[in-house]
Chains A and B, each alone.
Chain A
């Protein structure tokens, strides 16, 4: 028979680390939460099945590379082709990153600790960005490893792969800033999911409508601006300008590259500012 003895209260006199450590711990905790790690099994279904779906085209492409000796899916176009899956991931997981803390009023537990509200928001954005980046970067990397193993004729497309990885990070930041801002304005998880997916569908559906209208009236150059209404094509247009990759729009070219880059930067800043304002208000409560 063993018995548990009450050894009484022990004080802690070990190290107490700073706010940087706490912010990193929060980012890691949030990232785990986004993928449902440390949560019940049902929280893992959505993120992991979407991540698996993201890998399917990469695996098919590796098979094609092995059999036909050529690549069918370019690295630079992967995010645009798979944009619906990425958008569903954002819509389903952005609310898990921010909504519970707002809805269940967990925020005071964080704010009564050394971290400030900006560090809290920064950690959440970092976690969401990392998760979306992982979602896109994993199949890209798998495909690149596949290309090296299969050893296609000609040099490997290392430059295009690196460019796509960079743009995946930028895209992840843009999507996260907006996804988290929308989710934080609608703290009920279901509403958050609905609002993110609605905004994405609007941005997706608006493109052909605006493009078609302008193109049919003969305004070809104005019509190309329509692509910038969707985050995936907006980032692709910047990629096309910076890395010289072919445009992955459905038809036609992108407008002016620097203008796209400027719009991208403004949108990321706007999303982050909206988040900061939302949390300044939540913190004052």
Chain B
């Protein structure tokens, strides 16, 4: 089942083509939408919300047509904008309750849902204070809460980690992952930082200048490469010599050893060497491609 599907979707503005013949499908789970600034991510989200009419092609969200059933779509999806969008003089509770009502929840249900969702995004006592005095991290949480409050089937998160410090970024990413798994709400999250999406996405779509560069599962992006990193407590030199004599290609990297994988026998060789030399093996880790590398390759080939 597809959460959303576009077919030849195009959006032309007077001076620029923001989305160009985009055909892509997205399944349930967490999907990353990656592209540089101005790649057409935000325009695509506005089209999917039924707020911007496409110049050509079709798009369906939750099996509803974006041009004809926009209001129906907006009832079932949540949207977290990229920019600041919170009025400063109301409290988070007041704002979220109000926006829940705007999504059609009766007043008592709106209150319950607002309290629930503010707890889930991690806002405690401060939710009764005016939003104007919040830190960037807290504002991002309020923005996320308003997108979740009506229990949507799908949420669009536009650059949710923008402006956050490393810890806030980590917490936000963990939360997004939870939304996609525990909460059972599908997520389409945009970012220009690929490393972030790698951690939380099941599927990644890469667009550039409104065109689809690549759409595939995260596994294909971060396929295992042919190296394995070994870390031992001490005796690194002995291990290096032993593995080299076994015919393995070994290169030391600081306190670790990178071994080229020739086949399953490489793992056996490392295990046997560690046992024979009576070494304390701390880590054995597969080397991974980062999505950045893929993006770089794609860019180079375009």
Contacts and interface: CB of A to CB of B under 8 A. Distances in A.
11 contacts: A10-B116, A15-B104, A19-B71, A21-B101, A25-B98, A104-B84, A105-B81, A105-B83, A108-B79, A113-B102, A115-B102
Interface string A112-130: 1111100000000000000
Contacts of A105: 81, 83-85
A29 interface: yes
A106 B79 contact: no
A16 interface: yes
Interface residues of A, number: 36
A9 B101 CA distance: 20
B87 A116 contact: no
B151 interface: yes
B105 interface: yes
Given A12-B109, A113-B99, 14 more contacts: A9-B120, A9-B182, A9-B183, A15-B109, A21-B101, A29-B101, A33-B90, A38-B90, A105-B83, A105-B85, A106-B85, A108-B79, A112-B51, A114-B72
A48 interface: no
Contacts of A111: 51
Interface string A2-25: 000000111110111111011001
Given A12-B109, A101-B87, A114-B71, A109 B94 contact: no
- List of 4 A-B pairs having minimum Cβ-Cβ separation, nearest first: A12-B151, A112-B79, A25-B101, A16-B104
B85 A104 contact: yes
Contact of B75 (A10, A16, A106): A16
Nearest to B51: A111
Contacts of B151: 11-12
B87 A104 contact: yes
B3 to A, nearest CB: 17
A22 B182 contact: no
Contact of A106 (B74, B87, B106, B116): B87
Interface in B28-87: 49, 51, 71-72, 74-75, 77-79, 81, 83-87
Interface residues of B, number: 40
B130 interface: yes
Nearest to B179: A9
Contacts of B90: 33, 38-39
Nearest to B81: A108
A154 interface: no
A109 B71 contact: no
B104 A114 contact: yes
A106 B91 CA distance: 14
A190 to B, nearest CB: 15
A85 to B, nearest CB: 24
Interface of A: 8-12, 14-19, 21-22, 25-26, 29, 33, 38-40, 43, 100-101, 104-106, 108-116, 283
Contacts of B72: 114
Contacts of A114: 71-72, 74-75, 103-104
Given A100-B89, A105-B84, A15 B106 contact: yes
B146 interface: yes
B11 interface: no
Contact of B150 (A12, A19, A283): A12
Nearest to A42: B89
Nearest to A25: B101
B113 interface: yes
Contact of B103 (A22, A40, A106, A108): A22
By CB atoms of chain A within 10 A, which of B83, B88, B101, B102 has the most?
Answer: B102
B129 to A, nearest CB: 10
A4 to B, nearest CB: 9
Nearest to B182: A9
A100 B131 CA distance: 13
A113 B86 contact: no
By CB atoms of chain A within 10 A, which of B75, B86, B104, B146 has the most?
Answer: B104
A18 B101 CA distance: 10
Contacts of B81: 105, 108-109, 112
Contact of B106 (A14, A39, A40): A14
B71 A108 contact: no
B89 A22 contact: no
Contacts of A283: 51
Given A8-B182, A11-B151, A40-B130, A22 B146 contact: no
B99 A12 contact: no
A46 to B, nearest CB: 13
B215 to A, nearest CB: 24
Contact of B105 (A16, A29, A110, A116): A16
A25 B71 contact: no
B180 to A, nearest CB: 11
Contacts of B116: 10
B133 to A, nearest CB: 11
A25 B94 contact: no
Contacts of A22: 101-104
A18 B105 CA distance: 9
Contacts of A8: 182
Contacts of B94: 38
Contacts of A33: 90
A101 B85 CA distance: 8
A11 B148 CA distance: 10
